[in-house]
Chain A
Amino acid sequence: MPSLKQTPLNAAHRAMGAKMVDFGGWDMPVNYGSQIEEHHQVRNDCGMFDVSHMRVVDVKGDGVRAFLRHLLANNVDKLTLPGKALYSSMLLENGGVIDDLIVYFMREDWFRIVVNAGTADKDLVWMKKQAAIHAPQLVITDHPELAMIAVQGPHARARVWEALPGSKELSEHLIPFSAVEMGSMFIARTGYTGEDGFEIMLPAKAAPFFWATLAEHGVKPIGLGARDTLRLEAGMNLYGHDMDERVGPLESGLAWTVDLKSPRDFIGKAALLAHPPARKLVGLLLLDRGVLRDHQHVHTAHGDGEITSGSFSPTLEKSIALARVPNGVQIGDSVQVAVRDKMLAARVVKYPFARNGKGLV
């Protein structure tokens, strides 16, 4: 077995009693005891996540905006203020999703992109290939030497301000989905939990000290297990589960991230226009006892669908899922989910399921 990749916080996780697992080739903490307690910790107070496996990619040079206008399904022309962020898909010509990402406008000749860990290498190949064709003057540099720590929860920002002198003045006026540089650190008011907070990028060598400082200020470590239930409750897509290269953003609940209104062309646009979506992503709430899981079949009055992300919601204390179903399915419909040898009753619901500490379903 090839050895697993480690983040700069690997030793810190072990010292804090983490249970480590192979997460896409990375040795990562799945929990530090109880996933459910960690989940509530973030909804009710705050917690910190090591997301250093995610990759920062800087795209620099003249014409970077025009290049990204073509590369990404969302429109970077929405970004006019330095530090502002945009969530987007990056598509293949056939409309399949290569990855979902966050792009930050830094300067007119510098945009910063954060991509998923498991897709980072193929993303870079794709970006460089497209740049070679359309904008060979651009310099595309990934930064595996940057660590990333997400601090999330209603008290997250206050704890960061206590732990990091000077950060409050710089970041207290950040509106959601924007970022600011602080020396070699990059503080973004973004996240993947449905709670307020920051995602902070910093040099790998500084990460263990910052992590320990946050811990001294009462910020509890949270594993990737709770990260997944938090993002599912918040109705946020997970690449490789809710969408991938075989399915387009319009069938993955990501229509809001695709700009089809502006006249600009982008990779995948023609395919999206040529193939209107026949399916859509909906939320499911399980009415019977049990737990919904990825890939279970969903039977509806309009045809079959499939669960793309299913789990137990600690906030609702019920099982919830995202599922791809035929377009005719409506909010409030009753559906059946095949779980082992049984058919369980579920209801189609609006998602997010929970955000800002509260259940919404």
Chain B
Amino acid sequence: MSNPDNLKYTASHEWVKTETDGTITVGITDHAQELLGDMVFVEAPTAGRKLKAKEECAVVESVKAAADVYAPVSGTVTAANSELDGTPETINSDPYGAWIFKMKPDNAADVAALLDAAGYQAAVDSEAH
């Protein structure tokens, strides 16, 4: 699966979608779910929590391992995807649909400065060597 061009990315494997109201939606990339394997548990941050960029704010656990999810930018959590409680495997089957949380960035320019799809792919490729 290729990384959608309309999203932004972090080197720590989160994808970020900017919504029309300026909030952002965050999930983990196809590459990340592929590395982790079958998902069995997701712990998302609660709405209202203030996050600093690169702060650990969620955990995804596969059968194999637990992995931290980091805030892509500073801001405030506005929603968590409670549907993942019962169906964590949708992260495997639809990584770019299965969002984990939404947040309102403190500064929209921080989002613009994240990696684009090509930049993220380059980061993944360099990690493999």
Task: Indicate, yes or no, whether A interacts with B.
Answer: yes
Give chain A interface residues in 336-350, CB to chain B under 8 Å: 340
A290 at the interface (CB under 8 A from B): yes
A340 & B59 in contact (Cβ 8 Å cutoff):
yes
Q: Which of A29-37, A180-188, A246-254 contacts B (4 or more CB under 8 A)?
A: A29-37
Interface string of B57-101 (1 = CB under 8 A from A): 001010110100000000000000000010000001000000000
B38 & A291 in contact (Cβ 8 Å cutoff):
no
A111 at the interface (CB under 8 A from B): no
A314 to B59, CA, bound (A): 20
Q: Which of B37, B38, B59 has the largest number of chain A CB atoms within 10 A?
A: B38
Residues of A within 8 A of B103 (CB): none
B63 & A225 in contact (Cβ 8 Å cutoff):
yes
Give chain A interface residues in 280-326, CB to chain B under 8 Å: 289-291, 293, 311-312, 314, 319
B63 & A312 in contact (Cβ 8 Å cutoff):
yes
Nearest CB on B from A294, distance (A): 11
B43 at the interface (CB under 8 A from A): yes
Residues of B within 8 A of A312 (CB): 40-41, 61, 63
Residues of B within 8 A of A289 (CB): 41, 43, 85
* Smallest Cβ-Cβ distance to A36: which chain B residue: B38
B63 & A311 in contact (Cβ 8 Å cutoff):
yes
B63 & A229 in contact (Cβ 8 Å cutoff):
yes
* Smallest Cβ-Cβ distance to A38: which chain B residue: B38
A293 & B37 in contact (Cβ 8 Å cutoff):
no
A290 & B61 in contact (Cβ 8 Å cutoff):
yes
Residues of A within 8 A of B64 (CB): 30, 35, 225
A327 to B63, CA, bound (A): 29
Interface string of B2-31 (1 = CB under 8 A from A): 000000000000000000000000000000
Q: A30-B64, A35-B63, A312-B63 are in contact. Are A291 and B41 (CB under 8 A)?
A: yes
Residues of B within 8 A of A19 (CB): 34, 37
Residues of B within 8 A of A291 (CB): 40-41, 61, 66
Nearest CB on A from B36, distance (A): 10
A290 & B41 in contact (Cβ 8 Å cutoff):
yes
A229 to B61, CA, bound (A): 15
Nearest CB on A from B35, distance (A): 9
B61 & A31 in contact (Cβ 8 Å cutoff):
no
B41 & A36 in contact (Cβ 8 Å cutoff):
no
Nearest CB on B from A47, distance (A): 16
A212 to B85, CA, bound (A): 40
Partner of A290, one of B34, B38, B43, B63: B43
Give A residues with C-beta under 8 Å from B.
19, 30-31, 34-36, 225, 229, 289-291, 293, 311-312, 314, 319, 340
The 6 nearest A-B residue pairs measured at CB = A312-B40, A291-B61, A36-B38, A312-B63, A35-B38, A35-B63
User: A36-B63, A289-B43, A314-B63 provided; 19 other pairs, C-beta below 8 A?
Assistant: A19-B34, A31-B37, A34-B38, A35-B63, A35-B64, A225-B63, A225-B64, A229-B63, A289-B41, A289-B85, A290-B41, A290-B61, A291-B40, A291-B41, A291-B61, A293-B66, A312-B40, A312-B63, A340-B59
23 contacts between A and B (CB under 8 A): A19-B37, A31-B37, A34-B37, A36-B40, A36-B63, A225-B37, A229-B63, A289-B43, A289-B85, A290-B41, A290-B43, A290-B61, A291-B40, A291-B41, A291-B61, A312-B40, A312-B41, A312-B61, A312-B63, A314-B63, A319-B40, A319-B41, A340-B59
